[in-house]
Amino acid sequence: MKKLLAFCFLILLSGCVEKDKIPDNIMSKQEMVDFLIDLHIVEARISLARFPNDSIKLFFPEIEDSLYRKHQVTDSLYKKSYQYYLQHISLMEEIYSAVVDSLSLRERIHSSQ
């Protein structure tokens, strides 16, 4: 009985360790946080500028490309990473929690100046 219990414990433990390992071909959580912060800032600026939708459709891909270059990722890597984190919702929650915290802090700093 003790051997069976120990075996079950080892299986559970190994499952927890493997769950937290992010594949090499996926952006890290911090890379995702940094990218999403910049993406949401750009989207907010565009929204506040109140450009017509057809204008946004013309220049947003260029802005998106500049974000990919800044963060040294490709659009396919970003999309693949985003899909990975959507499938691992607890990781995505951690990422967006960090994004929201960072954006909130930036807003507080900006509004106090």
Q: Where are the domains of the chain?
A: 23-112
- The tens digit of pLDDT for each residue in 63-99 reads 999 999 999 999 999 999 999 999 999 999 999 999 9
**What's the pLDDT at 6?**
41
| Top-confidence residue, 20 or 107 | 107
Nearest to 73 by CA among 83, 81, 63, 61: 81
* Residue 113, SS3 per DSSP: coil
Confidence of residue 19 (pLDDT cuts 50, 70, 90): low
* Residue count (the chain): 113
Percentage of residues in the chain having pLDDT higher than 90: 56
Tell me the pTM.
0.76
CA distance 98 to 30: 9
